[in-house]
A and B are shown apart, each in its own frame.
Chain A
Amino acid sequence: MKKFGGEVLLLDRDNINTDEIIPAKYLTEITKEALKPHLLEDLQLKGFDPQSKALADAKVVLTRNNFGCGSSREHAPWAFEINGINAIVAEGFARIFRQNMLNCGMLPIELPKKEITALSKLARQGKAKMSFDLKQQKLTLKAGGRSRAVAFELNDFATKLIKAGGWVAYADTVY
């Protein structure tokens, strides 16, 4: 199982798409390693710098709705994975992106809009860190000396994929 939790990167915008996460020109790469320097290279977001330390340090992304919309390219979750970001907390995901994350044993968490807003507000209070308790289905955000704990839901199938380390390993055991 992958490790989840650590420094939080806030990407405060709806509809961040796969072409922004990893542009198509890198899709001829055949290793995940080659995607590493290009994560979020084309992201249009005020104040965001793809070369920043905030991205380099991040272990968790906190974002808005329809995250990962567009292409089916698994290169998008891979680009996060190879940069050490295994958990993404959003108001919502595009279907293929969400399934791709689970298939890689990564952690996609969906929370209601007002909860994302509250977490975003807190994450701006200083260096933000998030931890996850998969058993209790609870996450905790700590920033600026304050903390906020939130319950999340993950269905049984998602939990099994994460525990197995992804869909190939799970499918090969079960089917």
Chain B
Amino acid sequence: MKKPRTLAQKVFDAHRIDTPCEGMSVLRVDRVFCHEITTPMAITDLMARKMDKVFDRRKIMAVIDHVTPAKDTKSAIQGKVLRDWARRHKLPHWFDIGENGICHAIFPEKGFVRPGMTVIMGDSHTCTHGAFGAFAAGVGTTDLEVGILKGICAFREPKAIKVVLKGRLRKPVSAKDVVLRVIKELTVKGAIDCVIEFTGPVVEKMSMEARMTMCNMAIEAGGTSGICMPDAVTVDYLWPFIKKDFKNKAAAVKAYSRWHSDPGAVYEKVLTINVSELQPQMTVGYKPDEVVDVAKMAGTPVDQVYIGSCTNGRIEDLRAAAAIIKGKKISPRVRAIVSPATPEIFKQANKEGLIDIFMHSGFCVTNPTCGACLGMSNGILAPGEACASTTNRNFNGRMGQGGMVYLMSPATAAATAIAGKIADPGATKSWKKK
């Protein structure tokens, strides 16, 4: 009998071209995603080596997302290096200003990620794309460079951690609260050289957006990729892009199920969480595993509220926040920013009246960009200020030198914007059960 394998092991076996030493694999990559922060140095190095080539222009997708529109000459040059390169190589999937959105939101939205794929990008939150049953890992500029040139990347054979989510997720508790709790349990180094599989009845009921929110933060526990098993939810999301490949959705679900981890596959650790009793969660320190119940911090003053990013800038996130702020004004003690993660999300939010709700309540609505999350543009904190943020990283200085970042869900951020201080969205009277 064949040895039971995890999804990641199956993907490795299907993509391995070499084993340079025990425990290391060189894989073919199906997708090389590029943005303007980590790609330009790869491009200039390839040019300097007189190797300015791409392995397959259909498998390389590029976007300007971190600082857009450009804020200064340096960011304009970075954008230009990427733009010139994308045009020079006639990349068919290239997203410039007007069409650009945050990489980990726009690339899934365009249907680029499929179950069983290998995906790399010069961005640590590439683990997001594992939500589709892919192996997706953040890499540095050199790995990206070799990926662009050769379509390969080297990885340690990953171990796996299985997170089993049981019970019922009760609004306003969301995927963000769940993943913050998971990181607290695993710690910031608990998943190094591991993939994190999110499984169980709660995940099966989750949308792709919610699954992406969880997989997005796998790296905050040190994980190589977050992973969800591809199922009917995955197929529904991808259907416009895959319908020509399958006679019906059931056939797609069946075909993708071959990637599922086998019963009996070996895990480093199995973590079971009953989410029924989970309260809204938030971080309190400078590490993403310093997580407490929001209720414990209620009343803590903040200066800024930020809703957006590759973690929580998707349509469901905007809906969850808008449901809480509808008809209310944000506290005069805070400034609030919402950044829909892609133009499609922006348009959908507009259609649903969410943009109106945000603007009437006093939110500033920005174009899609990573900007504020990493303190590059569009919402940098002053020293001593605190931000209630739906982003993924609370490192010291992350959103601006001397600033404090409290990571939380969109619902908690919205409740905090209204209250002008940390507030538990479950405790706000306006919350109606659906």
Instruction: Closest B residue to A32 by CB, please name it.
Output: B41
Is B174's CB within 8 Å of the partner chain A? Answer: no
Task: Give the distance in Å from the alpha carbon of A66 to the alpha carbon of B77 in the complex.
Answer: 33
Task: Give the distance in Å from the alpha carbon of A7 to the alpha carbon of B106 in the complex.
Answer: 46
Task: Give the distance in Å from the alpha carbon of A77 to the alpha carbon of B124 in the complex.
Answer: 15
Q: Is the CB of A95 within 8 A of B154?
A: no
Indicate which residue in B17, B49, B139, B154 contacts A168 across the interface (CB closer than 8 Å): B49
Q: Is the CB of B24 within 8 A of A157?
A: yes
Q: Is the CB of B51 within 8 A of A172?
A: yes
A20 contacts across to B, CB distance below 8 A: 395-397
Q: Is the CB of B20 within 8 A of A160?
A: yes
Is A42's CB within 8 Å of the partner chain B? Answer: yes
> Which among A23-31, A49-57, A111-119, A129-137 touches the partner chain?
A23-31
Residue of A94, A104, A175 most packed against chain B (CB within 10 A):
A175
Is A140's CB within 8 Å of the partner chain B? Answer: no
Q: Is the CB of B18 within 8 A of A66?
A: no
B323 contacts across to A, CB distance below 8 A: none
A175 contacts across to B, CB distance below 8 A: 17-18, 26, 150, 152
Instruction: Closest B residue to A19 by CB, please name it.
Output: B395
Q: Is the CB of B140 within 8 A of A100?
A: yes
Q: Which of B78-125 contact A (CB under 8 A)?
A: 78, 81, 121-124
> Which among A67-75, A120-128, A144-152 touches the partner chain?
A67-75
Is B274's CB within 8 Å of the partner chain A? Answer: no
B376 contacts across to A, CB distance below 8 A: 24-25, 27-28
Task: Give the distance in Å from the alpha carbon of A121 to the alpha carbon of B41 in the complex.
Answer: 39
Q: Which of A140-175 contact B (CB under 8 A)?
A: 155-157, 160, 166-168, 171-172, 174-175
Q: Is the CB of A17 within 8 A of B395?
A: yes
Instruction: Closest A residue to B287 by CB, please name it.
Output: A15
- Closest CB of chain B to A169's CB: distance in Å? 9
Known: A19-B395, A171-B152. A24 touches B145 (CB 8 A): no
B393 contacts across to A, CB distance below 8 A: 19, 70
A17 contacts across to B, CB distance below 8 A: 395
A77 contacts across to B, CB distance below 8 A: 140
Q: Is the CB of B192 within 8 A of A70?
A: no
Is A65's CB within 8 Å of the partner chain B? Answer: yes
Known: A30-B78, A92-B192, A168-B49. A70 touches B124 (CB 8 A): yes
Known: A23-B375, A23-B401, A96-B140. A167 touches B146 (CB 8 A): yes
Q: Is the CB of B44 within 8 A of A30?
A: yes
Q: Is the CB of B188 within 8 A of A28?
A: no
Indicate which residue in B45, B75, B145, B154 contacts A157 across the interface (CB closer than 8 Å): B154
Task: Give the distance in Å from the alpha carbon of A65 to the alpha carbon of B138 in the complex.
Answer: 20
Task: Give the distance in Å from the alpha carbon of A124 to the alpha carbon of B122 in the complex.
Answer: 37
Task: Give the distance in Å from the alpha carbon of A42 to the alpha carbon of B374 in the complex.
Answer: 14
Instruction: Closest A residue to B147 by CB, please name it.
Output: A171
B375 contacts across to A, CB distance below 8 A: 23-25
A172 contacts across to B, CB distance below 8 A: 51, 149-150
Is B129's CB within 8 Å of the partner chain A? Answer: no
Q: Can you list 13 A-B pairs, Cβ within 8 angstroms, ordered by A?
A: A14-B189, A19-B396, A20-B397, A23-B375, A24-B375, A72-B140, A73-B140, A74-B142, A94-B189, A156-B20, A160-B20, A171-B152, A174-B18
What residues make up the interface of B, taking CB atoms closer than 8 Å to A?
Answer: 17-18, 20-24, 26, 37-38, 40-41, 44-45, 49, 51, 66-67, 72, 74-75, 77-78, 81, 121-124, 126, 138-143, 145-146, 149-150, 152, 154, 156, 188-189, 192-193, 222, 224, 286-287, 374-376, 393, 395-398, 401
Lowest 6 CB-CB distances: which A-B pairs, in order?
A: A103-B142, A100-B140, A74-B140, A156-B21, A28-B74, A66-B189
